[in-house]
């Protein structure tokens, strides 16, 4: 089962980065392969945050697939968990964490997935892997555009 795990230090606060990742409707503006995203439902969570039911359309060349996921936004613990509901995957799990540093924050990104169709996995698998490797960079660039950029990101 393909998976990708990344930790990245950025110059923006954990709250700013959480808000950026939680703003899922904006993903088509900057995220690789994301062509559309619609939130079907927002439900408040006990203890704060909310749970979204969202449809994301991803595409590469002539291939387009839409899948539904449940996105749990937990601002109190600075975590976001994405669970697969329906679509072309057999399995998909995505987790984000945001930890404060003296300056900026450390962003944790984990995703594990498997396409339901072997053929779709062969067609899209390499592109998904490549896109996931660019996700952290895409979010950091988006944060710079929204919150302002300063010299290079922390390493």
What is the domain-level CATH number for residue 38?
3.30.530.20
pLDDT at 120: 73
Range of the domain at 33: 3-147
Q: Which pLDDT band, with edges at 50, 70 and 90, does 42 fall under?
A: very high
Q: What percent of the chain has pLDDT over 70?
A: 92
Interval 17-30 mean pLDDT: 96
How many domains is the chain built from?
1
Helix H or strand E segment including 103: none
pLDDT at 85: 97
Residues 6+ apart with CB under 8 A from 41: 52, 53
pLDDT at 51: 98
Q: Supply the angle between the helices 118-147 and 14-22 in degrees, to the nearest 10.
A: 130
In b/e form, how buried is each residue of 102-134, taking b as 16+ CB within 10 angstroms?
Answer: eebbbbbbbbebebeeeeebebbeebbeebbee
Whether residue 152 is contained in a domain is answered as: no
pLDDT at 40: 97
pLDDT at 80: 98
pLDDT at 132: 74
Q: Greatest CA span in the chain, whole angstroms? A: 47
How confident is the model over 70-119, as pLDDT tens digits?
A: 999 999 999 999 999 999 889 999 999 999 999 999 999 998 988 888 87
Judged against a pLDDT cut of 70, whether residue 154 lies above it is answered with: no
Tokens of 70: 């449940």
How confident is the model over 130-151, as pLDDT tens digits?
A: 777 777 789 989 999 999 876 4
Whether residue 154 is contained in a domain is answered as: no
Whether residue 155 is contained in a domain is answered as: no
Interval 42-49 mean pLDDT: 93
Tokens of 149: 């950029």
Nearest to 139 by CA among 2, 4, 22: 22
How many other C-beta atoms are found inside a 10 Å radius of the C-beta of residue 67?
17
Whether residue 153 is contained in a domain is answered as: no
Dist. CA 135–CA 132, nearest whole Å: 5
How many other C-beta atoms are found inside a 10 Å radius of the C-beta of residue 135?
20
Least confident of 9-18, 47-56, 57-66, 140-149: 57-66
Whether residue 93 is contained in a domain is answered as: yes
Q: Which pLDDT band, with edges at 50, 70 and 90, does 155 fall under?
A: very low
């Amino acid at each position: 089962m393909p998976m990708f795990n990344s930790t990245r230090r950025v110059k923006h606060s954990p709250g700013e980065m959480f808000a950026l990742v939680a703003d899922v409707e904006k993903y088509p503006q900057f995220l690789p392969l994301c062509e559309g995203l619609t939130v079907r439902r927002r439900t408040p969570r006990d203890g704060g945050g909310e749970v979204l039911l969202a449809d994301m359309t991803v595409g590469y060349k002539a291939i387009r697939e839409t899948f539904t996921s449940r996105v749990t936004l937990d601002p109190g613990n600075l975590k976001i968990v994405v669970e697969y509901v329906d679509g072309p995957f057999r399995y998909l799990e995505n987790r984000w964490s945001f930890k404060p540093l003296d300056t900026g924050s450390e962003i944790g990104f984990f995703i594990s997935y498997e396409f339901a169709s072997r053929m779709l996995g062969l067609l899209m698998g390499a592109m998904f892997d490549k896109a996931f490797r660019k996700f952290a960079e895409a979010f950091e660039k988006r944060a710079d555009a929204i919150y302002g950029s300063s010299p290079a990101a922390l390493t």
